[in-house]
Amino acid sequence: MKEAPVLILGIETSCDETAAAVVADGRRILSNLVSSQVELHARYGGVVPEIASRQHLLLLNPLIDDALKEAGVQLKDLQAIAVSHGPGLVGALLIGVATAKALAYAARLPLVAVNHLEAHLYANQLEGAVISYPAVNLIVSGGHSELLLIDESGAIKSLGRTRDDAAGEAFDKVARVLELGYPGGPLIDKMAREGNPAAIDFPRAWLGNDGPYDFSFSGLKTAVINHLYHARRRGEQINMPDLVSSFQEALVEVLVEKTIAAARDLEAQTVLLSGGVAANSHLRRRMQERLRASLPAVTLHYPDLKLCTDNAAMIAAAAYPLYQRKGFASLDLNADPGLGIGRP
């Protein structure tokens, strides 16, 4: 007799996406609902934490009901409740954590605490990717730029991370200065297709032996702002597509080359992209081209666009191996806004 699938409800409220999903056996998505707050925060040019928390409070319970309904299951059919408890905005995280604890208590289900960053690693598995190890994973999002090494056992080691602005943060800040709107990443990606990536030679922070796998995008952001300021002072006409294309090229080149270096140095068999900036078309294309040219035996995986940004399916998927190991959280679980990679 075929075993019944393990059904896990995932809850995600770490920033400005309210999300709920039901996933079977850590891989099969039965429902994956996301309520975006982008339009609400766009008028402020970025996420306002208090507004995000208030929206989560309004939206989460109805969204969970809809996710269960779309999956064709009830609360009693589930095997566990999973929630992202960090990193993220503390007020936003608390809404999800409190809701998950209440549901777990009421339904007498195990509670699984998921690291939001590590959950991004599972987005590729939800796409059915077969991953060979060791694997190098580049997580790029609004708050994080990090290179990770994953071995056969699933153990995760941080190789390098951003020292200042994350890649997505740099996209948003540059877009704000250029008055393009929010969120900046998709807007710059679209406009950059019309520009010349070699028009302006913006700096690349390689960091040398001091941090071969670390990132730094603050200087690049400042260089773009200074270029814009001096051009305006001189009364020069600014070619916006060239400007954003050159900025994007400088940022993507660093992401790609450091990932390629890590894959080569550590003899990785797979390179994974994850996080919101993994949706960037130039990053996907350049990574594929460079791997084909320098490491043709290494396989590249990146998620579908809807699984790059924050979602609850990845939370439920990340909870599955924890559920199998009975790695359950107690009902005194708290939000941890500074949670890092490799911590429970």
Backbone φ and ψ of 130, nearest 5°: -95, 115
Mean pLDDT of 95-120: 96
Query: What's the predicted TM-score (pTM) here?
Result: 0.91
Does residue 243 contact residue 257 with C-beta atoms inside 8 Å? no
The token duo for 112 is 């699984």
Q: Return contacts of 253-258, CB within 8 angstroms, 24+ apart.
A: 253/204, 253/286, 254/204, 254/205, 254/206, 254/215, 254/217, 255/138, 255/140, 255/145, 255/167, 255/215, 255/283, 255/287, 256/283, 256/286, 256/287, 256/290, 257/290, 258/147, 258/160, 258/212, 258/213, 258/215
pLDDT digits (tens, 9 = 90+) for 170-218: 999 999 999 998 888 999 999 999 999 999 999 999 988 878 999 999 9
Look at residue 183 in the predicted model and tell me its pLDDT. 84
CATH topology of domain 7-121+308-324: Nucleotidyltransferase; domain 5 (3.30.420)
**Could you tell me where the DSSP H helices lie in 266-341?**
281-294, 305-308, 313-324
Selected residue with higher pLDDT from 155 and 333? 333
- pLDDT for res 153: 85
The domain ranges of the chain are: 7-121+308-324, 132-302
Quote the pLDDT of residue 1: 60
Name the nearest CA neighbour of 85 among 119, 54, 55: 119
Q: Are 285 and 175 in contact (CB under 8 A)?
A: no
Residue pLDDT, tens place only, 70-98: 999 999 999 999 999 999 999 999 999 99
CATH number of 132-302: 3.30.420.40
Question: Average of pLDDT values for 309-318?
Answer: 96
Per residue in 260-306, pLDDT tens? 999 999 999 999 999 999 999 999 999 999 999 999 999 999 999 88
Same fold for the pair 7-121+308-324 and 132-302: yes
